[in-house]
Amino acid sequence: EPTDLAPRFCFNLGFHEPDGELPAHTVYIDNVELIILDDSSAVIPDTNIQEGPAININQVGYRPNDKKIAIFRDSSKDTKFDVIDVNTGKTVFTGNITGSTESKSAGEIVAYGDFSSVTEPGRYKIAAENSGESYEFVIGEDVYGDIFTDIVKMFYMMRCGSDLGEEYAGDFAHKACHTRKATIYGTNDTKDVSGGWHDAGDYGRYVVPGAKAAADLLLAYEDFSQVFTDNVGIPESGNGIPDVLDEVRYELEWMLKMQDEKTGGVYHKVTGLNFDGTVMPDESSDELFILPISNCATGDFAAVMAIAARVYDQYDAAFSKKCLAAAKRALAYMESHENNGGFKNPGDVLTGEYPDTTDTDEYFWALCELYKTTGDPAYSRKLSSMDINMIYNGLGWESVGLYGYYAYLTSESQDAGLANKISDSFNKYISYIESYAKKDGYFSMVGDVYPWGSNMKLANSGMAILMANRINGKDTDLAKKQLDYLLGANPTSYCFVTGYGTLSPENTHHRPSMVLNKTMRGMLVGGANSNLEDPYARNVLAGLPPAKCYADNSQSYSCNEITIYWNSPLVYLMAGILTGK
């Protein structure tokens, strides 16, 4: 397409479906001439990835009483370090560099400098004789104020179906997009499903990841309401309701449209047959299709609507009741359609699939949230009949069991036997992710293989530690270390939130940013991906250690895309850190 910034000439061969082994065959291509008409936008991959400073810190900064650790790439270079006041040039603290910890994922043996005793507000940097200098950082009480506002406002910037005014969106303002009715796939029927949030760098809207994002934000408000304000800078600001709840409601109203009126099942997504070109949202002209109902979407919908029923009750009782009724209808659909588990794209649909192989964890999560919201023992009895060991753990869009664990273990009333089983599974998961951090020099909870969206895993892990703190008083130090990692204390030296830190992503795979050649602030990018799942990454990052497989290039969608469900756990994580939990 004319708007494709990275066109490729290729032939797709083979089948997506498991149709058995094909006999050996040969494909002949003859008499082909390929002419490049305009190569002015050609990008020559930079295969010389420059390593960042030898000293890495949280580039956004630290509050005065935070634990502050600088990470040195090479434990053999120095024994002492200085903390330097940037404004005066004076050394305010000298400390010892200690430890020698292997970080296999980074290919380094790192050491640490603890400067927690530096509490005076100001701008600083770390320096050592052989390691050089770190990027600058700030110490101050409100050091996270601006970034927290921007990561919350990111969801407003992802709105679909309404005007984004210049007074709120600045250069990213646009007219209402995707407002026409969509066709229910495989039929001639149409339905209004306008609204909601664009999912990621594309303009699709998907119930499964949307439910995760909405749940994260609602739980963040439920657990840490004191940090959410009514002045984020969206049209609803100043209406007496925390802006995060106004924003989530915008997504929930769309999700309610995605529920089938007759059956209570929930359609999986609404997209075109293919991804949009590189255009602004209001310039997208592809026909929209509503893809079939899936149990995974229906279960996620039921769970998040049950949470919404709790959270919105004090602000809008009628909306709360509407959400609860929708959740119950969705659960009833799941129970009468037990064989409708995961989801696969039809053959002519190429947009995000968000597939799944089982709906057991979604059903479990829905039951737990409905039980927490209503206290109805019927839900607890259904939970007792399930094999807890078969629930897929996690806080991702595919494995949602941990949401269910948290809901049940924070319910007002619990069955002792069931609570013990759930608590055991919850604690095993926490021990599992902690084991990664204890073996990693950068305290990463990802492991030795960095998948697509590794930064989500880091944020999710920090979120899980904060949940454990609320359940059993778990120390939150590792949660803070995940935040430090995301904001610069990592092997790439990037602060992975756009617009913040000395080194942050500037070339995101986000269509409005690509059109305007200007990256929107407050977006968490996917981060390192050692599976090298796009052509640019394969060309540039091959051979690098897993945690360094990151490229700040808009062509690298597997490293540098953004999504609503990567920002959402970061909101929860930062909200918990801001409250001191």
Domain ranges (residues) in the chain: 55-139, 158-356
- Residue 581: its pLDDT value, please? 55
Closest C-alpha among 232, 267, 251, 242 to residue 305: 251
Please work out, in degrees rounded to the nearest 5, the angle formed at the alpha carbon of residue 127 by the alpha carbons of 448 and 49: 45
CATH: 1.50.10.10, 1.10.3720.10, 3.20.20.70, 3.30.540.10. Which one for 158-356?
1.50.10.10
With residue 102 as reference, give the H or E element that holds it: strand 91-103
- Residue 107: its pLDDT value, please? 97
- Give the span between the Cα atoms of 120 and 138, in whole angstroms: 10
Token output for 374? 């209503």
Please report where in the chains the tokens 């062509």 appear, as a residue. 555
Q: Is 572 helix (H, G, I), strand (E, B) or coil?
A: helix
Closest C-alpha among 103, 216, 139 to residue 464: 216
Token output for 343? 């989801």
Closest C-alpha among 259, 265, 268, 261 to residue 289: 268
Give the model confidence (pLDDT) of 226-276 as tens digits.
Answer: 999 999 999 999 999 999 999 999 999 999 999 999 999 999 999 999 999
- Residue 52: its pLDDT value, please? 94
> What contacts 152, CB < 8 A, 6 or more positions away?
228, 232, 243, 244, 247, 522, 571
Token output for 499? 């617009």
- Residue 402: its pLDDT value, please? 98
With residue 335 as reference, give the H or E element that holds it: helix 317-336
Asked if 383 contacts 418 with a C-beta cutoff of 8 angstroms, the reply is: yes
> What contacts 376, CB < 8 A, 6 or more positions away?
370
- Residue 20: its pLDDT value, please? 56
From the candidates 82, 199, 202, 300, give the one annotated as an active-site residue.
202
From the candidates 440, 509, 510, 534, give the one annotated as an active-site residue.
509
For 185, list phi and psi in degrees, rounded to 5.
Answer: -55, 135
Q: Is 202 labeled as catalytic in the residue annotation?
A: yes
Residue type, 484: D
Positive or negative: CA dihedral 573, 365, 320, 155: positive
Q: Is 216 labeled as catalytic in the residue annotation?
A: no
Q: Is 522 left (phi over 0), alpha (psi -120 to 50) or beta?
A: left
Which H, E and C letters describe 186-226, residue by residue? CCCCEECCCCCECCCCCCCEEHHHHHHHHHHHHHHHHHHHH
> In angstroms, what is the C-alpha Rg of the chain?
24
Q: Around Cβ 54, how many Cβ atoms within 10 Å?
A: 20
Q: Is the pTM of this model over 0.75?
A: yes
Asked if 112 contacts 71 with a C-beta cutoff of 8 angstroms, the reply is: yes
Q: Is 509 labeled as catalytic in the residue annotation?
A: yes
Burial class (CB in 10 A: 0-12, 13-18, 19+), 36: exposed
Token output for 145? 């104020």
Asked if 282 contacts 176 with a C-beta cutoff of 8 angstroms, the reply is: yes
Give 350's Cβ-side CA count (13 Å radius).
5
Positive or negative: CA dihedral 10, 346, 350, 279: positive
- Residue 535: its pLDDT value, please? 92
- Give the span between the Cα atoms of 34 and 337, in whole angstroms: 51
Asked if 485 contacts 444 with a C-beta cutoff of 8 angstroms, the reply is: yes
Q: Is 33 labeled as catalytic in the residue annotation?
A: no
Give 331's Cβ-side CA count (13 Å radius).
24
- Residue 32: its pLDDT value, please? 84
Cα 247 to the center of its chain, rounded Å: 17
**Residue 197 vs residues 45, 141, 270, 420, 434: alpha-carbon distances, Å:** 32, 32, 11, 38, 33
Tell me which residues of the chain have a pLDDT lower than 50. 16, 18
Q: What is the largest CA-CA distance in the chain?
A: 74
Q: Is 97 helix (H, G, I), strand (E, B) or coil?
A: strand
> What contacts 459, CB < 8 A, 6 or more positions away?
482, 486, 524, 566, 569, 570, 572, 573
Positive or negative: CA dihedral 551, 556, 559, 565: positive
CATH class of domain segment(s) 55-139? mainly beta
